[in-house]
Structure 1
């Protein structure tokens, strides 16, 4: 029996959603029908693809391997469909983007919204990942486009300038630094920090910068995103560093102070990352062209 692309898509959706019922609601299909498709896949493969518990479902090692390969298959099918479709009613396709937290919070909502108004038949699968993981995902063809803060470029990948941002320090209103307008990073190292998850590009930057000063970056808590980071800072549990635009949005609702970070590395360049433009599906090429066209250089921001 040949693999059914619909079953592969539903299997991926179930793992992403965590439960069959959540996936069924998202896909507007009966939960029993999804459960049957997964059972059929497991019978066809001769191996368990999911682990079931009272917390939901997660992929087995075999299931994760299937997801990786299924993404590639679905992407190839989407590219094939795009190639043969009549473009009279609009382009169709499937594009996988892995983007870091900064890009998702600052730029991608408006960027993707504008793109999908022009190309409503293109499906975009957006996943949040750490910059340290994104380029590898593109290299391994588990993502078509990466949006990241580049550290060490991976050979044979193409990097295109995307957007620039600026990091800022945030403190509670009662913090000893709160009345300052501008601080050097070294001045903040006397105080504990609230950081992002282990392995994030931000944490790596702060650790390296502290080591360059023969100091230690003390991270008291690690949280998964900017919202939680700002709430912890508001509660005076530590200082934090995040993009100024995000901090300004958060400061409208929270009692936090924003301080200029007086360091050259506070001004960052975000990049698009692809294997090569020629390797992209037509739909992915359209999206890259749209995002690169909207690039704003630091000199104009």
Structure 2
């Protein structure tokens, strides 16, 4: 039985991506005969054909497609391992990988990391933005140590610790018909065009569900990926959006837009911290978790 090794996997990926053993050999700086032998050894060891060879080049067989998918995943892990370990050669004594959604990044995560690093200079914290659903999946699969996301996502075999609360509001242009209101319900917004977010964003799923419960649909003028883009569209009176009030405070002076209190009970939401197993975190990750959960502000119970 063939035993996977990084060199063979890298070469197989190159052959599939280039569609040619000759081009793959040039890309990897290895003789074409050596690349061809590696692939032949893999096929012999696995007992199945991995490539369809023709005068036009090569294409993976169904078995080759499966190997290619796993090879890419494994090589990403190897590259990540090399990157993580290289940090220690520069004096780093710990590494924490954090996944966070855009709301938490705009509202508080950078400040939390900065304050942590003031007392833990030899710990390296790597932050990556993802949608809440992808954060839970990433923590469950072990691609990061700590996740910060919304509370309305499936738990997916991770521990969830209550964290901070924030509050959704309706953001409109100053000339919008709702601009004179001090508070509105979500149902009040459904007669107007919305600026929405990508389908994998938790807020998108939440607002669509609430609209469905009201037997209404949301009319989207645009779908964007950042709060800044949403505020720019609102500034040009191209729609309204449901956004976290705490995050919008940073954009109001820049875009001169109105934030209206949202009356619905679900408008107050909870952030949660996700970990696979809190008692199995590395020393560095445990210290960062303790930093996040120190003297937590009281959570808002009006959900």
TM bracket (short chain): 0.7 to 0.9
Q: How does 1:109-258 map to 2 (within 5 A)?
A: 109-258=110-259
Give the drift of 1:71.
6.7
When normalised by structure 1's length, the TM-score is: 0.73
Secondary structure of residue in 1 paired with 2:249 = helix
- CA RMSD, aligned part only? 3.1
SS in 2 for 1:272: strand
Q: How many Å apart are 1:183 and its aligned residue?
A: 0.3
2:81 to 73, 77, 81: 73
SS in 2 for 1:191: coil
Q: Which structure is larger by alpha-carbon Rg, 1 or 2?
A: 2
Which structure 1 segments of 5+ residues have no match?
Answer: 5-37, 48-59
Q: Per-residue displacement from partner, 1:68-118 (whole Å, max 9, x unpaired)?
A: 423763598599x7xxx9xxxx98211111100011000111100000011
**C-alpha separation in 1, matches of 2:205 and 2:198:** 10
Kept after mapping to 2: 8 A contact 1:91/1:119: no
Q: CA deviation at 1:65?
A: 1.3
Matched, 1:97 2:105: no
* Residue ranges of structure 2 left out of the alignment (5+ in a row): 8-26, 40-67
- Count of aligned pairs between the two proteins: 246
TM-score by length of 2: 0.73
| Distance in structure 1 (CA, Å) of the matches to 2:79 and 2:95 | 10
Q: 1:37-82: CA deviations, max 9, x gaps? A: x9579x99979xxxxxxxxxxxx95774145423763598599x7x
Structure 1 pair 198–219 and aligned structure 2 pair: CA distance change class (3 A):
same
Contact 2:162 2:273 in 1 (8 A): yes
